[in-house]
């Protein structure tokens, strides 16, 4: 009964979304406040309906209601509760339901921030948002209905794909979807501005937190997915340039560019047309990502035929929204007035360069991901585009961008002084160079990439901190003055520096992978294997039985230079219901590096194949991403992004934000 | 969004040992290093976007052994790759060759960067520059005012 109610609520949400689409749009044209006010009310109602629908599916999962086809296919009564819940979005239908839930959630947040958004802009934005909701609700209801019943109901379910029974993957999709869908708000605002033919710095100020929030979540989502691949897929890689990964990297690159161009627009009222275009492109790439992953086109061009309805439907959504918004852009963008003049050498100029490189990097990933499919469809020729291609095309675009980053951050708005900025950075650059040279001399003949990359990362970290230091420290000031000034800096300044330092940390982590070493061997209990300075001794192989799987556990003692560091467990796991084996890597964290062991086959003579890696500083790859997201979050709490909130009456220069 | 990858990985990897097996490794470390380099650029044809160095499908194992066989027989790296392309087609290379049919693929990054730079430059040129900095006379006048204030 609850399941039918959930199904009905979803259909109701579709009807309400239609109202949310038509009425506010009409109201904004007629300038009728009553009609415009329908937008926020329906947005909240849509959220309530979809949330109820989502909860009723969750209830079916938690109670293992095997009369629902979706539950049968993806759950099992012995599965731990957390995976019963995460199983809701661990499949196609449920994950699309999560997608629309987040969409509705964001729509109603826009609806509820009544005082801070001009009424017409809000009405148009909610209408565009409703159009997206309609498209995806139709998609769920017609091709991917999670509420289908099955008669007669089987006694037991088929279990969730074992690879998805992992805490990392339980939270990975929600994080990623919040990122993807968050960009829909920037998109809706961009379309609303185009419909109205009006755009200014206020628009940028309203949109920026949305972009920033979506970007922070997408960053976390991608990092989470990467770490999951690292420990679960068992060969210690953390990025594979797989099309599925590229599908999430493209909106991230475009979103990063959007974040920076919105800053220019907010501060200096410039780059308006470009920012609008970027907002449209970023969400289009999110849609493309959804299409690539959800339609099955990635597996092979032929699997499209397995379920043509879904693939064609999303392709239709893609064409309508991307084509429609670009047509709207072409029609209305010439109406937008240009403002904000600036010299080529200035913060704005540096951000233009940033956008140029990020957009090119995004285009590179785009062509690398889609070219093989297009070529095969057009000529039938099959080619592969993998990591080696991206290494020679993507890296040369990113390295100059990163080298220029601290410089751009130091330049003044409107008219900057290149030499002055370089002068302020020479300490940071000198220290980073010194570190790189010292590492080069020290390792003597090892990989060159690692010291150079670490130097670059250090330059980013020090250059970001330099910004805070130069803004708060001057010769002869007491420490308490410096502290007062530093803590008085706007939080967005801190956020920027922290996020950029996070980029530096990730770069260091990536560069250090060049120092990784591996050992490979067939071991019997008591024998040991070396990877660099680390040694693993296989203690014993023991079986273990859990609720829904069986493990063969290898217990290993890890030591360095004869000193024992502890034991780690690595296992081969068999999920009973699906009869599917997985490998659980054994990982021991030593400082910021990790010792990583994974098991191969157990041989008839009782020996087992073992791969042992030592990966120095590898944790920095993901920690850096978390720091980036934290910088974004800190920036979100900046005073000026909370317009509409009553301002504290606190005198003094610390509270004032320069109007510029 | 990784479900497809996960699913495929599950299908492809099965539970087997990971990639290069101890018994495959060549005795000569230089040759083995070359074999690993070549392997990481060759696609496991039955896998989803995996190199034969990462995959443990049977085909990947066969290809790894084949690469090592050719290296031991004295082939150069290029000859080994050429040999595999002849047998399996260009699909086997993870880094496509630079030819007519991949022209657009390889040139896109350069083209986008160049066109973007030209576009940005043109857009900047079309607009009047911001008011110029102080000229000498203005600077002198300003200095004088500042000096007067400082001494006062």
Q: For a pLDDT cut of 90, what percent of chain A falls above it?
A: 46
Collapse the DSSP code of A23 into the 3-class scheme (helix H, G, I; strand E, B; otherwise coil) and give the result: helix
pLDDT at A500: 95
Whose structure tokens read 């300044």?
A493
What is the reported pTM? 0.89
For A356, the closest of B2, B105, B113 (CB atoms) is: B113
pLDDT at A365: 95
pLDDT at B130: 60
Q: Which chain A residues have a beta carbon less than 8 Å from that of B96?
A: 383-385, 389
Q: Is the pLDDT of residue A114 over 90?
A: no
Sign for the CA dihedral angle at A306, A310, A312, A315 comes to: negative
Average pLDDT over residues A35-56: 95
Collapse the DSSP code of A462 into the 3-class scheme (helix H, G, I; strand E, B; otherwise coil) and give the result: helix
Alpha-carbon distance B57 to nearest alpha carbon in chain A (angstroms)? 13
Tokens of B56: 């443990």
pLDDT at B152: 59
Query: What's the rounded Cα separation, in Å, for the pair A436 and A458?
Result: 9
Letter string b/e over residues A133-165, b meaning 16 or more CB atoms within 10 A of that residue's CB: bbbbbebbeebbebbeeeeeeeeebebbbbbbb
User: With contact defined as beta carbons under 8 Å apart, do A486 and A472 qualify?
Assistant: yes
Backbone Cα Rg of chain A: 27
User: With contact defined as beta carbons under 8 Å apart, do A411 and A345 qualify?
Assistant: yes
The band of A303, judged by pLDDT with boundaries at 50, 70 and 90, is: very low
Number of domains in chain A: 4
Q: How many Cβ atoms are within 10 Å of A533's Cβ, its own excluded?
A: 10
CB contact under 8 A, B105 and A368: yes
B39 and B114 inside one domain: no
Residue numbers of B between 88 and 127 with CB closer than 8 Å to A: 89-96, 101-102, 104-106, 108-109, 112-113, 116-117, 120, 124, 127
**CA A573 → CA A226, A235, A418, A544, A546, distances in Å?**
21, 16, 58, 9, 10
Letter string b/e over residues A492-530, b meaning 16 or more CB atoms within 10 A of that residue's CB: bbbbbbbbbbbbbbbbbbbbbbbbbebbbbbbeeeebbe
Collapse the DSSP code of A115 into the 3-class scheme (helix H, G, I; strand E, B; otherwise coil) and give the result: coil
A503 and A611 inside one domain: no
A175 and A281 inside one domain: yes
Owning domain of residue B121: 100-151
Whose structure tokens read 């009964």?
A1
Q: For a pLDDT cut of 70, what percent of chain A falls above it?
A: 93
Among the three residues A160, A175, A209, which one is the final residue of a domain in this structure? Answer: A160
Q: Which chain B residues have a beta carbon less than 8 Å from that of A551?
A: none
Flag whether residue A32 sits within 8 Å of chain B, measured between CB atoms. no
CATH number at residue A148: 1.20.120
Alpha-carbon distance A555 to nearest alpha carbon in chain B (angstroms)? 17
Helix (H) or strand (E) holding B85: helix B77-88
Helices A272-295 and A347-379, axial angle in degrees (round to 10): 30
Among the three residues B71, B92, B113, which one is the final residue of a domain in this structure? Answer: B92
Flag whether residue A261 sits within 8 Å of chain B, measured between CB atoms. no
pLDDT at A643: 53
Q: Is B75 exposed, middle or buried (0-12, 13-18, 19+ CB in 10 A)?
A: middle
A32 and A97 inside one domain: yes
pLDDT per position as a tens digit, A233-278: 766 788 888 888 899 999 999 999 999 999 988 888 888 889 999 9
pLDDT per position as a tens digit, A220-235: 999 998 998 888 776 6
The band of B12, judged by pLDDT with boundaries at 50, 70 and 90, is: very low
pLDDT at B19: 62
Cis peptide before A32 (omega within 30 of 0): no
A528 and A442 inside one domain: no
pLDDT at A371: 92
B8 and B74 inside one domain: yes
Average pLDDT over residues B18-38: 78
Domain membership of residue A578 (yes or no) is yes
Q: How many Cβ atoms are within 10 Å of A440's Cβ, its own excluded?
A: 17
pLDDT at A641: 62
Letter string b/e over residues A218-235, b meaning 16 or more CB atoms within 10 A of that residue's CB: bbbbbbbbbbbbbbbbbb
pLDDT per position as a tens digit, A135-172: 999 999 998 899 999 888 888 888 877 777 888 778 88
Flag whether residue A363 sits within 8 Å of chain B, measured between CB atoms. yes
B58 and B13 inside one domain: yes
B71 and B122 inside one domain: no
Query: What's the rounded Cα separation, in Å, for the pair A544 and A552?
Result: 6
User: With contact defined as beta carbons under 8 Å apart, do A391 and A239 qualify?
Assistant: no
Least confident of A490-504, B27-41, B111-125: B27-41
B58 and B132 inside one domain: no
The band of A657, judged by pLDDT with boundaries at 50, 70 and 90, is: very low
Number of domains in chain B: 2
Average pLDDT over residues B125-137: 70
Helix (H) or strand (E) holding A77: none
Owning domain of residue A50: 1-160
Q: Is the pLDDT of residue A468 over 60?
A: yes
Among the three residues A461, A495, A514, which one is the final residue of a domain in this structure? Answer: A514
Average pLDDT over residues A526-545: 88
Q: Is the pLDDT of residue A10 over 70?
A: yes
Query: What's the rounded Cα separation, in Å, for the pair A129 and A210?
Result: 14
Average pLDDT over residues B16-26: 64
B120 and B138 inside one domain: yes
The band of B5, judged by pLDDT with boundaries at 50, 70 and 90, is: very low
ipTM of the shown complex: 0.84
pLDDT per position as a tens digit, A355-385: 999 999 999 999 999 998 889 888 888 888 9
pLDDT at A426: 87
Collapse the DSSP code of A574 into the 3-class scheme (helix H, G, I; strand E, B; otherwise coil) and give the result: strand
């Amino acid at each position: 009964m609850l399941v039918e109610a959930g199904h009905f609520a979803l259909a109701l949400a579709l009807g309400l979304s239609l109202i949310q689409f038509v009425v506010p749009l009409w109201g904004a044209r007629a300038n009728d406040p009553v009609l415009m006010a329908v937008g926020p009310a329906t947005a909240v109602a849509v959220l309530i309906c979809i949330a109820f629908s989502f909860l009723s599916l969750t209830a079916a999962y938690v109670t293992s209601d095997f009369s629902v086809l979706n539950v049968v296919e993806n759950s099992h009564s012995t599965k731990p509760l957390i995976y019963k819940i995460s199983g809701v979005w661990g499949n196609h239908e449920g994950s699309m339901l999560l997608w629309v839930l987040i969409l509705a959630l964001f729509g109603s947040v826009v609806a509820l921030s009544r005082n801070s958004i001009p009424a017409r802009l809000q009405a148009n934005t909610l209408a565009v948002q409703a159009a997206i909701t309609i498209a995806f609700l139709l998609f769920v209801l017609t091709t991917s209905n999670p509420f289908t019943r099955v008669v007669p109901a089987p006694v037991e379910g088929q279990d969730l794909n074992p690879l998805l029974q992992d805490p990392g993957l339980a939270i990975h999709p929600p994080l990623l979807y919040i990122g993807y869908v968050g960009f829909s708000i920037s998109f809706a605002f961009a379309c609303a501005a185009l419909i109205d033919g009006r755009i200014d710095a206020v628009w940028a100020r309203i949109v920026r937190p949305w972009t920033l929030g979506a970007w922070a979540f997408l960053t976390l989502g991608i990092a989470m997915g990467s770490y999951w691949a690292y420990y679960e897929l068992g060969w210690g890689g953390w990025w594979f340039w797989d099309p599925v990964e590229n599908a999430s990297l493209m909106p991230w690159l475009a979103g990063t560019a959007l974040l920076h161009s919105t800053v220019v627009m907010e501060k200096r009222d410039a780059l308006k047309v470009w920012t609008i275009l970027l907002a449209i492109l970023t969400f289009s790439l999110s849609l493309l990502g959804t299409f690539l992953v959800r339609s099955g086109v990635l597996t092979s061009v032929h699997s499209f035929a397995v379920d043509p309805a879904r693939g064609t439907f999303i392709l239709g959504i893609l064409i309508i929204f991307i084509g429609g918004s670009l047509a709207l852009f072409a029609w209305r963008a010439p109406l937008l007035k240009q403002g904000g003049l600036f010299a080529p050498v200035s913060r704005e100029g540096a951000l233009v360069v940033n956008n140029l490189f990020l957009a090119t990097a995004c285009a590179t990933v785009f062509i690398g991901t889609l070219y093989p499919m297009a070529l095969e469809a057009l000529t039938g020729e099959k080619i592969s585009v993998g990591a080696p291609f991206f290494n020679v095309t993507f890296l040369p675009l990113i390295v100059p961008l990163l080298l220029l980053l601290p410089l751009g951050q130091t330049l003044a708005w409107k008219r900057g002084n290149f030499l002055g900025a370089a002068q302020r950075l020479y300490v940071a650059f000198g220290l980073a160079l010194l570190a790189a040279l010292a590492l080069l001399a020290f390792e003597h003949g090892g990989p060159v990439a690692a010291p150079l990359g670490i130097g670059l990362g250090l330059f980013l970290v020090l250059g970001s901190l330099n910004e805070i230091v130069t803004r708060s420290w001057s010769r002869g000031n007491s420490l308490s003055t410096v502290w007062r000034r530093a803590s008085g800096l706007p939080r967005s300044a801190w956020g920027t520096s922290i996020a950029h330092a996070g980029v530096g940390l990730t770069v260091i982590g990536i560069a250090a992978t060049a120092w990784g070493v591996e050992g490979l061997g067939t071991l019997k209990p008591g024998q040991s294997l070396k990877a660099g300075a680390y040694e693993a001794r296989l203690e014993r192989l023991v079986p273990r039985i859990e609720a829904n799987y069986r493990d063969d556990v290898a217990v290993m003692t890890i030591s360095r230079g004869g000193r024992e560091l502890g034991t780690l467990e690595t296992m081969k796991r068999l999920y009973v219901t699906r009869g599917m084996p997985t490998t659980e890597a054994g990982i021991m964290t030593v400082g910021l590096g990790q010792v990583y062991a994974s098991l191969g086959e157990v041989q008839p003579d009782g020996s087992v194949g073992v791969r042992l890696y030592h990966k120095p500083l590898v944790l920095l790859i993901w920690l850096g991403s978390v720091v980036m997201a934290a910088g974004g979050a800190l920036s979100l709490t900046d005073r000026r992004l909370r317009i509409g909130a009553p301002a504290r009456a606190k005198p003094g220069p610390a509270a004032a934000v320069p109007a510029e | 969004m990784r479900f497809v990858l996960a699913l495929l990985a599950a299908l492809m990897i099965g539970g087997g040992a990971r990639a290069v097996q101890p018994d495959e490794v060549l005795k000569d470390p230089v040759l083995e290093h070359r074999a690993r380099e070549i392997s990481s650029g060759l696609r496991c044809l039955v896998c989803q976007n995996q190199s034969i160095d990462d995959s443990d499908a049977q085909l990947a194992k066969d290809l790894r052994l084949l690469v090592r066989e050719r290296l031991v027989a004295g082939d150069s790296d290029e000859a080994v790759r050429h040999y595999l392309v002849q047998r399996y087609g260009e699909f086997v290379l993870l880094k496509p060759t630079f030819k007519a049919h991949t022209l657009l693929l390889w040139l896109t990054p350069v083209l986008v960067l160049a066109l973007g730079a030209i576009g940005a430059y043109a857009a900047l040129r079309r607009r009047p520059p911001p008011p110029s900095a102080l000229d000498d006379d203005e600077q002198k006048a300003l200095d004088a005012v500042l000096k007067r204030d400082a001494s006062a």
